[in-house]
Structure 1
């Protein structure tokens, strides 16, 4: 899944209230449909924010309150950047949503289980480790840092304690890919670190005796078909990445998120972050956060 570019946010911030004009109504395939008609539509959870709920985030945006959301702080500046409509999503909001996905599955608010969500930092660490791997494949050893991801101690916010391959069989990672357009091009080079290193991390996890006999083998690539020339504005890559992760996890078709409703999708992400930052159960869990332990042993031996 592609994240976003590295474009800096604008120096000025558009008030959140401006994103919902007075004549605004929910995205729909038929102009005559009303909000209550959309409640049972399959894309409702992906793009719709009820008006009464939207009023709450508008009220919050008029204050200077900063809200904790996993590894990030939700501010009016971050929320306005998420809403765009022409701003790139940055790591703060990407990681906040990945944290929210983690908590939704951990608390069983979402049905899928045995799933893990990684951070943008994990992507960068995998790229760095892959460079070391390419220098000398035979002598390469899994670092203690990557090993901690494999046993569910990292990412530290929303840590699960789930062991890869035993408790986790599916993983989602935000990945920043430099492209000129979104024509469905394949980027084997960008996913190679994961294809080569994740099997080695799995082998480093001491979850069973049979793991000692596990053969390290590179994963194969498989690409999901995408509509031609999706994301015409070119600034919604991160939005599509987050929503495609959500669609894939929940078994929804990727086509439910498209250029026709991407603006409403941005609003839904902003609202989901605000709602999570005000969720009593998540607030309690975030208050119990403890930073990761200092790494003393930098490498993990693979027998």
Structure 2
């Protein structure tokens, strides 16, 4: 079946007409950004990817942990994306933002990897249990928090831009209940978090609130500790949050493509584009995945086996 899958993709990339992959060609994006967006997915890029995958002698065996298996998951509709897939999609955005900031809605945005939300969620109890000084300072924030704040993390296409001073908007995937990706837009000036969810019925509002709580609570605390003067008083309470209704967010009716939808939400909003309901839908997921995989492979050289390394720093006041 795996062989037939790739054979099918290989045949398609060699035979379909230019209009076959014109998905989202009317705008820019992970599935074709800015000037690139006006072109359909490049069949040659997809062909190169498939040919490369088939160089692996174990490509038919779906060996877990191999680059072949990693791209197989990324290409296949209804296969759940793991954190490295999500980070690869974010890195493609970061790379293009570095090269072409004019494509994006602002030069004050930041695109974060999944490690940010994973670490902050895992360390939230430690933060709550850590003692504070009489003035409220001194609580232990997650290791590496300072490097995110200064733009040294993520290391891929690092921005070196400091939050508040040079960054207003943060985009990041959030993994909920160990089985579902949602997209977060954190507006620092508004002190507010917007959540785009491709399967609104999967989690209730209480679960969403619990999942976003570590960020909504610890982020303003960190900004308060690191800000100076009157700016400190802007961050004395938790950030508010909202989940956008399903009527305003393209929904993944078939299960398993939430990661692709999550990346697409981030892409569209970061580029200042409305969500294209007509084309951003389940019937086009195969094409969306193929374009994403081909462009990650072509532009980033990411193969899914990279080791993520992070410097650590503790933030106190």
TM range (shorter): 0.7 to 0.9
Q: Any conservation in 1 of the 2:21–2:287 contact (CA below 8 Å)?
A: no
Q: Deviations over 1:66-88 (max 9, x none)?
A: xxxxxxx9922211110112311
1:300 aligns with 2:313: no
C-alpha deviation, 1:46, in angstroms: 3.0
Q: Any conservation in 2 of the 1:147–1:300 contact (CA below 8 Å)?
A: no
User: Paired residue for 2:200?
Assistant: 183
SS in 1 for 2:84: helix
- Equivalent of 2:9, from 19, 34, 48? 19
1:108 aligns with 2:110: no
Aligned-residue CA RMSD (Å): 3.6
Q: Any conservation in 2 of the 1:153–1:159 contact (CA below 8 Å)?
A: yes
- Equivalent of 2:111, from 94, 117, 129? 117
Q: Deviations over 1:40-62 (max 9, x none)?
A: 53478637413233322233233
User: Paired residue for 2:236?
Assistant: 216
Compute the TM-score of the two structures, normalised by the length of structure 2.
Answer: 0.70
- Cα 1:106–1:34 change in 2 (3 A) is closer
User: Paired residue for 1:249?
Assistant: 270
Larger % of helix: which? 2
C-alpha deviation, 1:91, in angstroms: 1.2
Could you tell me how far apart the structure 2 residues matched to 1:200 and 1:14 are? 53
Listed as ranges, the matches of 1:259-298 within 5 Å are 259-277=282-300, 292-293=310-311, 295=312, 298=314
SS in 1 for 2:174: coil
Could you tell me how far apart the structure 1 residues matched to 2:236 and 2:167 are? 17
Listed as ranges, the matches of 1:197-236 within 5 Å are 197-205=218-226, 209-227=229-247, 230-236=251-257
- Which structure is higher in RCO with an 8 Å CA cutoff and minimum separation 6? 1
Q: Any conservation in 2 of the 1:57–1:274 contact (CA below 8 Å)?
A: yes
SS in 2 for 1:157: coil
Could you tell me how far apart the structure 2 residues matched to 1:258 and 1:39 are? 11
Q: Any conservation in 1 of the 2:56–2:68 contact (CA below 8 Å)?
A: yes
Listed as ranges, the matches of 1:73-222 within 5 Å are 75-108=67-100, 110-111=103-104, 112-135=106-129, 140-178=139-177, 182-184=199-201, 185-186=204-205, 187-205=208-226, 209-222=229-242
Q: Which moved more, 1:170-179 or 1:233-242?
A: 170-179
Could you tell me how far apart the structure 2 residues matched to 1:37 and 1:291 are? 37
Could you tell me how far apart the structure 2 residues matched to 1:46 and 1:197 are? 33
User: Paired residue for 1:50?
Assistant: 42
- Equivalent of 2:53, from 30, 38, 61? 61
Q: Which moved more, 1:34-43 or 1:168-177?
A: 34-43
Runs of at least 5 residues in structure 2 that lack an aligned partner in the other structure? 33-39, 58-64, 181-197, 303-307
- Cα 1:217–1:59 change in 2 (3 A) is same
Q: Any conservation in 2 of the 1:199–1:219 contact (CA below 8 Å)?
A: yes
SS in 1 for 2:110: strand
Count of paired positions: 266
Could you tell me how far apart the structure 2 residues matched to 1:190 and 1:39 are? 31
